[in-house]
Amino acid sequence: MCQIRKNGQFETWQLPNGAYSRVFICRDHSTKEKAVGPKTVFIVIPGNPGVLEYYEPFAESVFNNAHRIHPTLNLDVIALQHVGHSRPDFAASDKSKPSIINSWNTFFNPSTEPRPLSLDQQIHHKLIMFDHIRSLYPKDTRFILTGHSIGCFMTLSVLRQRPNVDNLVKVILLFPTIKEIANTPNGKVIQWVATWGVRHTIAFIGMTGAALETTVENLLHHQPGFHALTLGDWEMKQVLELDEETVERNHDKLVLYYGPKDKWADESHFKDMKNRFPDIQAILCTDNVQHDFVIHSSEQMARKVVQWI
């Protein structure tokens, strides 16, 4: 196992639409960077909850492993958030600026009361982030999109709405919830939890897990937990049929990684994908990496991902 070097930092960006968003970004600031080739930017779209702090170890691990194994990639790693899923989203950085959640509510619904973003609005946020990130780099930059869980559905939505990005060279979907998730074991549970009556109560309880500090700091507070559960409710309603057209158009770029006993997308999802697209690079995990790898197995998953880029 490689030693993790801390290269990343949290940043809050103001975007062209006037709204704000947090990212966790790893850059190489050494002088050696000037001697290597064009940039490669690895963008992570999270699962639900999209708490940015959960993805910090994974982003760091991808960055460190890539620079050790493929130093000529000249890699930056940028992890995105889901708006409203972290406690910092609800506090303005200073009195002259709105909070992150208020800036997006103003953008989407200026005449209504503040509310959690829908799945379509979170996807719109990812499109704006993707376009903005592309504008920050030279034209010869290579981009890699990586989604986790519902982030894979969002990633396919970005591909569908940005079909002509020639320098998008790889798309990695980790434990992809991209079809019929309401019928999965976890989907049936979430349909109950995410109902309006239960949702307000559960939002106070939040989650438990190995990343206890992050969970307590973010999801045990009512607002982020409520926003995450609201997104889960939208997912059950909207993640239905597989977007075969987008998969077909991008099948040569795609890598899909499934867990055989994943309660969101198990081996049957893997087999269905291989049946529909025999030549696609779909992989069934044999190392017992779990759906919530960002909690337990960031380094192990990062090592796999780096081999695919």
Out of 107-116, 167-176, 191-200, 265-274, least confident range:
191-200
Helix axes 150-161, 222-238, angle to 10 degrees: 60
Confidence bin at 197 (pLDDT 50/70/90): very low
- Cα gap 101→129, rounded to integer Å: 15
In total, the chain counts a number of residues equal to 309
Average pLDDT over residues 38-47: 94
State the DSSP code for 119: H
- Residue reference for tokens 């982003």: 59
Say yes or no: domain 8-30+49-308 is CATH 3.40.50.1820: yes
Q: How far is CA 259 from the centre of its chain?
A: 18
Largest Cα–Cα separation, the chain: 58
Whether pLDDT at 162 is above 80: yes
Q: What burial class does residue 307 get, using C-beta atoms within 10 Å of its C-beta: 0-12 exposed, 13-18 middle, 19+ buried?
A: exposed
Q: pLDDT digits over 209-232, tens only? A: 444 455 545 545 568 878 888 888
- Cα gap 53→192, rounded to integer Å: 27
Confidence bin at 70 (pLDDT 50/70/90): confident
Q: Which two tokens stand for residue 229?
A: 């559960």
> Strand pairing partners for 139?
none
